[in-house]
Amino acid sequence: MRVHAVELCNGKSKPHSIQTSLLLLTLILIFLTIIPLYLLNHSQSPEPKPSPKIGISGLRSVEKVKECDVFSGRWIPYSKGPYYTNETCRLIIDQQNCMKFGRPDTEFMKWRWRPEECELPFFNAMEFLELVRGKFMAFVGDSVGRNQMQSLLCLLSSVAYPEDISHKYTSDETYFKRWFYSEYKFTLATLWSPFLVRAQDADANGHSLNSLMSLHLDKVDEAWASQIENFDYVIISAGQWFFRPLIYYINDQIVGCHNCNQEDITSVTKYYGYRMAFRTAFKTLQKRKNYKGMTILRTFSPSHFENGAWNEGGSCERTRPFTNQEKKLDGYTLEFYLTQVEELRKAEREGRKKGLKLRLLATTEAMLLRPDGHPNRYGHSRALERNTTIPDCVHWCLPGPVDTWNELLLYMLKREAWRFSVRRN
């Protein structure tokens, strides 16, 4: 548990007698003894006590945030376990409710992410809700993006449950969800767009988990883009859908395909489609004139099929994380990661000219080490429910390591608030 630095401010110092000094010294010694005892006694709860805040003139008090690379690190045992359970959070969906469907082991819930340079603060629901008071936050992407939103709902559920207001905005209440925290006037949404750009089915045999689709790499998917201008935070991601057979279009012309097995079409890599999709998504956010939000790229989330691919009988049976020695970022995971980060960096430079903030939420390295965090056979996925023999090694159990993504998100929001207040003073 992190012990926050206690800042002893002694505004105006006046000369005082030796007795006063001794008294002060004694008081300080007593204090220094009591504080560690207090922390020891109160370290049972995963919710830490609020840390000391620094009053900033003319602004709400903002906690000092140490600048730190929170994305490189390792998983360390944490015996106290998760923030919530399948009993205390009533919003866990079946796809991610591993305990409900009989997952026998619980070790996977007892790890914390430990960045190399600092400690990652615990998630504090009250703090989060105060930071997003009156704001709109959207997760744009596929079901893994939605997975993070589901985790956030549970992390916040210790303080508040939202009202489901999806029906006011969409007829597709599974893929486009909106939640409203009335006490905080905070809107949380998920906008379904697995490719970020416009996509259509292109398979003669209809849609399936591995059917051919066409992607218009230069045309954004308006399903999310048309809604985005009101949002203050947009957490954008994309992943596994880019592995399927795809025909790429630019300017309504075929420019190539990935795994499409059509001799007349030039074969290009999946990285090309992935790069262009992010480029178009970021450009769109720069161009929408009313969009003033902060864009956050949540990086590629690796899957962990072993002994075969997802459609070859592969599964994820491990019950412990990998160590940093056992697993390194490489291969296609590294390539996907680098591709999207490159596009983010380019967009960041453009965005700066327009006063738009783009930020990196780099979860890839941490999640690569968590083969134990997936539902495997203990989740009821909508897409897979017709074939329960396919284990789910893509999504993440709740509670589980995906909760760390929101600890990282809260850290980022606090860091922004701190940077902002420092600039203002």
Ligand X SMILES: *[C@@H]1O[C@H](CO)[C@@H](O)[C@H](O)[C@H]1NC(C)=O
- DSSP readout, 61-77? -B-------TTSEEEEE
Q: Which is nearer to ligand X, 109 or 367 (CB)?
A: 109
Q: Which is nearer to ligand X, 94 or 229 (CB)?
A: 94
Q: Is 380 in the site for ligand X (CB under 6 A)?
A: no
> C-beta of 386: minimal distance to ligand X in Å?
7
Structure tokens that stand for 351 in this block: 């965005």
Of the listed pieces 33-41, 97-105, 213-221, 327-335, which binds ligand X according to CB under 6 A?
Answer: 97-105
SS3 sequence, 335-359? HHHHHHHHHHHHHHHHHHHCCCEEE
Q: Is 307 in the site for ligand X (CB under 6 A)?
A: no
Compute the distance between CA of residue 115 and CA of residue 290 in angstroms, rounded to an integer.
36
Among 10, 12, 79, 87, binds ligand X (CB under 6 A): 87
**Residue 195 DSSP class:** T
> C-beta of 163: minimal distance to ligand X in Å?
21
Q: Is 404 in the site for ligand X (CB under 6 A)?
A: no
- DSSP readout, 380-418? --TTTTT-TTS-B-SS--SSSTTHHHHHHHHHHHHHHHH
Q: Is 311 in the site for ligand X (CB under 6 A)?
A: yes
Q: Is 100 in the site for ligand X (CB under 6 A)?
A: yes
Q: Quick count: other Cβ atoms within 10 Å of Cβ 333?
A: 20
3-state helix, strand, coil in the chain (%, to 5): 30, 20, 50
> C-beta of 238: minimal distance to ligand X in Å?
24
Among 70, 91, 93, 99, binds ligand X (CB under 6 A): 99
Among 154, 358, 390, 398, binds ligand X (CB under 6 A): 390
> C-beta of 178: minimal distance to ligand X in Å?
24
Q: Are 63 and 53 in contact (CB under 8 A)?
A: yes
Among 97, 148, 193, 340, binds ligand X (CB under 6 A): 97
Per-residue CA distances from 108 to 113, 156, 249, 387 (Å): 12, 21, 42, 25
Q: Is 4 in the site for ligand X (CB under 6 A)?
A: no
Q: Which is nearer to ligand X, 226 or 387 (CB)?
A: 387
Using alpha carbons, select from 411, 397, 391 the residue that is nearest to residue 367: 397
The set of catalytic residues is 143, 392, 395
Phi, psi (deg, nearest 5) at residue 337: -60, -50
> C-beta of 305: minimal distance to ligand X in Å?
11
Tell me the residue nearest to ligand X as measured from the CB: 100
Enumerate binding residues for ligand X (CB under 6 A): 86-87, 97, 99-100, 311, 387, 389-390
